[in-house]
Structure formats: C-alpha cells, structure tokens
Structure 1
Amino acid sequence: MLLAIAAVIAGLIVLVWSADKFVEGAAGTAAHAGMPPLLIGMLIVGFGTSAPEMVVSAMAALDGNPSLALGNAYGSNISNIALILGVVAVMSPIALNSAVLKKELPVLTLVTLLAGYQLLDGSISRVDAWVLLAVLGLLMGWSIYAAMSGKGDVLAGEVETDLAEHPLPLKTALFWLVVGLALLVASSRLLVWGAVDIAQSLGVSDLVIGLTIVAIGTSLPELASSIAAVRKGEHD
C-alpha cells in the first residue's frame, strides 16, 4: 500500500506540473495561430486545466474502473466550485465583469441538472454519453461565436495581458504542448493504479476514492491558476 500511496503522490505532482505546461504550450500555440484571446481563455485554458480530469477518467474507464472515472468527474466539479471558488473568494472578493462568463453561469446550472437527471436510473448509458457530447458540441459552437463577437470583453483583456507577460516562441510552445500531454497521460495512469490499489486495500469503492483523493488532486491545476489570477486582480 505504501507503494500505491507513493504512486498517487508522484502521479499528482507530475499531473499538476504537466497540466500547467500543457496549458502554457497550448495557449502559446493558439496565440501564434492567431486565435482570439477570449477564445483562448474560454476554450484552451478551460479545456487545458480540465485535462487531468479528462485523462484520468479516460484511463480509469479503459482500465475497467468506471466508478473511479465517474467519481473523478463529479467530484472534480464539486471541488472546482466549492473548494476553488471558496479559497479565492476568501483571498479576495470576486467581482464578475465578463459578459461572456455571466452568460455561462446559467448554462453551468442547466448542464449540472442534466447530469443529475441522467443518474436517476443509476447509470450513465451510451445514449446519455452521446447526449452529453452533443450538448458539449453545441456549447463549444456557442463559445466560439461568443468569443468572436465579444470584442472588448474583460476576460479577453486579462488573457491578452497574460500572453504578453509570458511570450513563448512557437517551437517552445509546441514542445510543451507535446511533452505536457505525454506526461499527463503517464502520470494519470500512475495515479489511477495507485488510487485503485488504495481503494482495494482499504476496502472502499473506487467511487469514494474518485470523489475524494483523485477529484481534489486533479482539481489542483484549476486551484493554482485561480489563485495566481486572483492575486493579480484578474477575477474573471
């Protein structure tokens, strides 16, 4: 069990570090490709900081541990809202100025209700999965439209400032994009193995481990980036 604990700790450390590098590389590559700053903030950074959850859940499902994947998915969203918003609001009251983010909050509520409704029958079927993916596709289309038409939005200005403060040559951005993704996959597999081993040793379900240790661990990139943003006064 000690080896499993060490695997979880090492997996989380590499996961957080590689997620940061992946986001940095992806944002830099997108900037070189001429992508609007608001779109980078909404899609690249949003997806990038969620990469640990996505990769860990995918690895868990492929390894035959869907309960761990489910626990990580739902637990991470709980951590993102309760833990991260709680911590940053304690550090500094959050002023929401971005019109785009204000429009996304009702969407967040509706998607959460949809996910809860799908669990009423005790399972997430393939039909449920396709519904979720279809909703994701629609939301991504809306996000792209909002980013293209939301010129002058506060969030766009904050992302543009960040990119200007940390410029990356294209080769460096591509390097961290590839290396970050590779390390994400490797560390996720290590984390899943350790988490499953701990669950079996303690006699608890994979779902409980996913909802607690793994969920909080995979939320660390969001926590780190949110703390860094609020310390710079970039509330949106």
Structure 2
Amino acid sequence: MFIPFLWLTFGLILLIKGADWLVEGATVLAKKFNVSDLAIGLTIVAFGTSAPELVVNVMGSIEGHHEIVFANVIGSNNFNLLVILGISGLITPLVVQSSTVWKEIPFSLFAAVLLFFLANDLWLPGSYTVSRFDGFIFLAFFVGFLFYVYKQLSSDPSEIQTENKSYTQLKIWGFIIVGLAGLVLGGRLVVNNAIQIATVLGVSEKIIGLTIIAAGTSLPACHFNSSGYAQEC
C-alpha cells in the first residue's frame, strides 16, 4: 500500500513538472518565431496545463479504466471551481466581469448539461456510454468555444504577457522532450498505481480519480494561473 502511494505521488510530480517543462520550452520556441503572446496563451499554455489530465485519461481509456477517465474530468472541474476559487475568495474578493457571468459561465454549465445528456445516451435510451460520435460533438463545441475566446481576446487591447527568455535551441528542445517524457511516464505511474491503491483499499477507481488524481492533475493549471496566465483556475 505504501509503495504504490509513493509511486502515485512520484507520477503526479512528473505530470506537474512535465507540463511545466513542456510549456516552458514550447513558449520560448514560439517567441523565437515571433508568435504573439495572445496565440501562446490560447494554445501552448492552455493545452500544456491540461496535458496531465489528457495523458491520464487517454491511458485510462486505452486500458479500459473508464471510471478513472470520468472521475478525473469531473473531479478536476470540481477541484478548480470549488477548491481553487474557494481559497482565492478567502484570500481576496474576486471581481467577475459581466461577460464572464453571462457568457463563459453559462457555457461551462452547458458543457456539464451536455455531458449529462450524452452520458445518458440520447440515441439509445437506457444505455450509459459516451460514444465516438459523442466525442466528436464535444470536440466541435470546444472548437467553437476556442473561436469565441479568440474573438473576445482579439477585441481586447490587453494581451497575455509572457516573459521573454533567452535559451539555446538545445535547452529549448531539452525542455520539450523531457516534458513530454515526464507526462507519459507520470501518466503511466498514476494510472497503474491508482488502480493498485483502489484494489488494496477495496474502493472503486472512481473514488481515487475524484480525489487524488483529480487534484494532482489540476495543479499545473493553478501554477500557471498564479504566474499570470489566463487559465481555468
């Protein structure tokens, strides 16, 4: 029991640092090609900080551990909304823009409602699955949301600011390669040892996914949010 927990912790550390290194290297590389701060924030930072959840869920899906997949997605969203916003609100009052209240928050609610209906399978009542077709539906709405965010930020004169750093090509690609390796290895360790812990404790994989995995894979986004990047936290 103690050894799997240590490996799980090490896997989460690799996921967090892997995302950190990947974003670091990719951001500096993009700056060398004169990519705007806006584009970097919308692509590299946004996707990089979600990479731990993506890696864990892809591995869990391939290996057939569907409870971990759903628990990680739901648990991460709950962790971001309830824990991170709760702690932030305790520290200082948070000013919310009207566009967030009337546009972004309803879209998040819509995403949750869409998952509810698709998981209950609108096409085959009584079946509880998210099919490949449902996956295409989710991705289509995500592309639409990215376009909306891009249009919103394009009309906003303030841009996401990234720190200019001077790295050699070797160091840049070192960050990217090591970051990707950390994500893959960390994801494998997290999934395998989470299953072992669930088996030893006699609890479902869903419980582990809703708690330890969800909190751990959410930390990179919180780190970059505190560093000045606009993220889901």
TM over 0.5: yes
Q: TM-score if structure 1 supplies the norm length?
A: 0.83
Indicate if the aligned counterparts of 1:11 and 1:191 stay in contact, CA closer than 8 A.
Answer: yes
Residue of structure 2 equivalent to 1:87: 87
Which residue of the partner structure matches residue 126 of structure 1? Answer: 132
Measure the CA separation in 2 of the matches of 1:19 and 1:124: 27
Of 157, 167, 170 in structure 2, the residue corresponding to residue 169 of structure 1 is: 167
Q: Which residue of 2 aligns with 1:140?
A: 146
Q: How does 1:57-206 map to 2 (within 5 A)?
A: 57-96=57-96, 103-121=103-121, 122-147=128-153, 149-153=154-158, 156=159, 159-160=160-161, 162-164=162-164, 167-169=165-167, 171=169, 172-206=171-205
In the TM superposition, residue 224 of structure 1 has moved relative to its aligned partner by 2.4
2-structure distance, mates of 1:97, 1:24: 29
The one-letter amino acid of 1:140's match is L
Task: Name the SS for the 2:80 alignment partner.
Answer: helix
Corresponding residue number in structure 1 for 2:47: 47
Which residue number in structure 2 is paired with residue 37 of structure 1? 37
Cα 1:90–1:27 change in 2 (3 A) is farther
- Hey, what's the Cα distance between the residues in 2 that align with 1:111 and 1:38? 24
Aligned-residue sequence identity (percent) comes to 34
- Shift of residue 96, structure 1, vs aligned partner: 4.4
Q: 1:90 to 1:29 in 2, by over 3 A?
A: farther
Decide whether the 8 Å contact of 1:52 with 1:184 is kept in 2.
Answer: yes
RMSD between superposed Cα atoms in Å: 2.6
1:224 aligns with 2:223: yes
Contact 1:84–1:222 (Cα < 8 Å) also in 2: no
Query: What is the letter of the counterpart of residue 152 of structure 1?
Result: P
Q: Which moved more, 1:123-132 or 1:113-122?
A: 113-122
Alignment partners' CA distance in 2, 1:174 and 1:109: 39
Q: How many residues align?
A: 224
Q: What SS does structure 1 have at the residue aligned with 2:149?
A: helix
2: CA distance between counterparts of 1:151 and 1:201? 52
What SS class does the counterpart of residue 35 from structure 2 fall into?
coil
Segment of structure 1 superposing worse, 174-183 or 70-79: 174-183
TM-score normalised per structure 2: 0.84
State the shift of 1:177 in Å: 1.9
- Give how far 1:93 is off: 2.4
Describe the SS at the equivalent of 1:34: coil
Which ranges of structure 1 fall in alignment gaps of 5 or more residues? none
Amino acid at match of 2:147: G
